[in-house]
Structure 1
Amino acid sequence: MTSSLRAREILAIAALAADDKGGEELVALDVSGPLPLADIFLLATGRNERNVMAIAAEIEDKLNETGVKTLRREGRAEGRWILLDFGDLVVHVFHEEDRMYYGLERLWKDCPVLPLELPVREGAE
């Protein structure tokens, strides 16, 4: 099974929003095969708690503006690992230490990685 077109559309919005707020190491995993409740996981890393919260808030704001409702939100108070559930898309915004510790990429290593189209930043090689 593969992720739906709608899930990939909202993924693009979420990835751009995360990138706009300095989200790093963005990875999208197609989890539609093993998970019946979601199509895609988007993983993003923030440098500190404030950055993690800003990334999550921007993603939620941009998706809500386009009519995508937040079904569930977890971890916002701590700013270490924020989970945003939009149905077909589940976003995980991690503090860099927590991302390494929990290693979701390792847990879901059998799931295909989806390409993300992000703008090229000046000074990037």
Structure 2
Amino acid sequence: MTAGTRPGDAGDAAAPLLQLVLASLDDDQAQEVVTIALAGKSSVADHMVIASGRSTRQVAAMAQKLAERIKQHGFGPVRLEGLPAADWVLLDAGDVVVHLFRPEVRSFYNLERMWSLGDPAAASGAGQA
């Protein structure tokens, strides 16, 4: 997906997975949801989603529910990292990588700035909760 396109545009094979991720995070009341298109920046995934939870308990619950929903919808198993501490949980769903943070940890690492550097259109607040 290139800057300026929206999830679900023709040619974006990851769009259904991205929409599921965004809907799940919205249902679980994730805060400050940001989507970054990685096409042309990384071969690891097509999209990165970054969101915050209010506490380690909420971050862990969002991660577990999201992993279950992705698997139930037929997108395959999800790799989870960081679940025991739940300060920063990474979900690798293939075409979509999701970072869930506690707010303090998110501001410390500031992934949005790192990945959208030089491309202000790459980070989009669409889907913010």
Which band: TM-score by shorter chain?
0.7 to 0.9
Please list the CA deviations of residues 7-48 of structure 1 after superposition, one character each: whole Å capped at 9, or x if unmatched. Answer: 121111111111111100000000121101211001110000
**1:88 has 2:95 as partner:** yes
Partner of 2:111: 104
Gaps of 5+ in 2: none
Gaps of 5+ in 1: 121-125
Partner of 1:15: 22
The 2-side partners of 1:43 and 1:36 are apart by: 18
**Letter paired with 2:31:** E
Q: Is the 8 Å Cα contact of residues 26 and 44 (structure 1) preserved in structure 2? A: yes
Partner of 1:26: 33
Please list the CA deviations of residues 65-103 of structure 1 after superposition, one character each: whole Å capped at 9, or x if unmatched. Answer: 111123421000111100000111000011111110000
Partner of 1:68: 75
| CA gap 1:115/1:95 in 2 versus in 1, 3 angstroms | closer
TM-score if structure 1 supplies the norm length? 0.85
The 2-side partners of 1:65 and 1:115 are apart by: 27
My pick for the range that moved more, 2-11 or 94-103, is: 2-11
Q: Among residues 26, 43, 50, which one is paired with 2:57 in the alignment? A: 50
Q: Is the 8 Å Cα contact of residues 40 and 88 (structure 1) preserved in structure 2? A: yes
**1:113 has 2:123 as partner:** yes
1:114, CA displacement in angstroms?
A: 4.6
TM-score if structure 2 supplies the norm length? 0.82
The 1-side partners of 2:54 and 2:125 are apart by: 23
Count of residue pairs brought into register by the alignment: 119
Partner of 1:123: none
